[in-house]
Amino acid sequence: VRFPEDLEDENTTFNPEYSHQVFGDDEVAFGYKGLKILLYYIAGNLSTLFRIEYTSKVNEKFDCVEADDVESKIREIIPPGFCTNTDDFVSLLEKEVNFKPFGMLLHTYSVHNEEAGEDITYQIYKADMTCPGFREYHERLQTFLMWFIETASFIDVDDERWNYFLVFEKYNKDGATLFATVGYMTVYNYYVYPDKTRPRVSQMLILPPFQGEGHGAQLLETVHRYYMTSPTVLDITAEDPSENYVKLRDFVLVKLCQDLLCFSPGKLMQGFSQEMVMEAQQKLKINKQHTRRVYEILRLRATNMGDAEQSRSYRLDIKRRLIGPYKKKQRELAKMRRCLRPEELTNQLNQIDLNMQHEQLEESFQQLVSDYRRVLERLAQA
């Protein structure tokens, strides 16, 4: 909510992707007709208005069943101090002009908005719990995780090894510049013996109204650039990354790596090298596993897939990596069958397994190439 009229504007509403963490696996609130759970947040400091509306509710006295206590379920995840009536909320909205982003400004960028017909400015900040008011703001901000990240959990904010990176939009209201929350990322700094740290991305969320505009890539690249300057950082990883996060990371890391000398077309065609691993880690804090993916994507760009020899060479290079788990499984199966089956049957079963594995391998390869092409298409448009 930026203006009082937003309260009545259905176009500014967005719904949760998940509610199982609040309402159980069935995602059901029992005992109501016409139930509406309404959560409004002021765009910048995220002060909250919480209301519940329904047309009727089961009654223990007459219906012999009790309705779910929806209010207490929501209260468990939103911090105390929220508004319950619109007038209080609107009076807080009037003070929003005093809200300023927390922490240190790292990056400013703009995105062209077709609807508004102008460029909109965004800024990324790094904050921590020593910033006045940030602890309370973060409590409100993290409530979004429960609705938009499938396995979300609240973090221990008293642990000083957490870093917080925040994205804000700058907008004008009555001649003043205000800020709206766009999204954020939390990063935990793990200790690596003897004197290094390994930042691990824990949670990352761009709020639904801003998704699909490139903010995730801007945020991840800014975080990488922030850690790249630190001599004590070994490399940057992610905790249990989603499929979407992996795609985003592929794009950002390829964008960062493409100008390194070790990824020149000539060197790419010679195969994956230790030089790539060293340079990506030392200059960009990228680990070996992620560097390998970057190499495969950039080699695809350098490869003429219409040329039979180049295409075959690329396919074999990728499949040699993909076949590792299959070979291990094959060895384990062979050991088991030596104990359990006659030799003739073993050979036959191994052959069946091999045929199936070749199919799976080809399928994995095709899926990978399809994913890599999407990264390269996005890179070409960047």
pLDDT in tens, 276-315: 999 999 999 999 999 999 999 999 999 999 999 999 999 9
State how far Cα 271 lies from the chain centre: 30
Considering the domain boundaries, does residue 149 fall inside one?
A: yes
Residues 75 and 117 in one domain: no
Nearest to 191 by CA among 147, 229, 232: 232
pLDDT at 339: 63
Residues 103 and 37 in one domain: no
**Digit-coded pLDDT (tens) for 90-108:** 999 999 999 999 999 999 9
Considering the domain boundaries, does residue 272 fall inside one?
A: yes
Range of the domain at 44: 4-96
Spatial separation of the C-alpha atoms in residues 35 and 68, rounded to whole Å = 12
DSSP 83: B
Catalytic residue numbers? 239
pLDDT at 341: 56
DSSP 354: H
pLDDT at 324: 74
Residues 184 and 286 in one domain: yes
- 199 Cβ contact partners less than 8 Å away, ≥ 6 residues apart: 163, 187, 188, 189, 190, 223, 227, 233, 236, 237
Count of domains for the chain: 2
Q: Evaluate the CA torsion angle 12, 17, 21, 22 in order and state its sign.
A: positive
Q: Which of 269, 300, 331 is the last residue of a domain?
A: 300
Considering the domain boundaries, does residue 106 fall inside one?
A: yes
Considering the domain boundaries, does residue 346 fall inside one?
A: no
Q: State phi, psi for 378 to the nearest 5 degrees.
A: -65, -35
pLDDT at 145: 95
Nearest to 109 by CA among 49, 57, 182, 172: 182
- What residues in the chain have per-residue pLDDT under 50? 348, 352
Considering the domain boundaries, does residue 33 fall inside one?
A: yes
Considering the domain boundaries, does residue 113 fall inside one?
A: yes
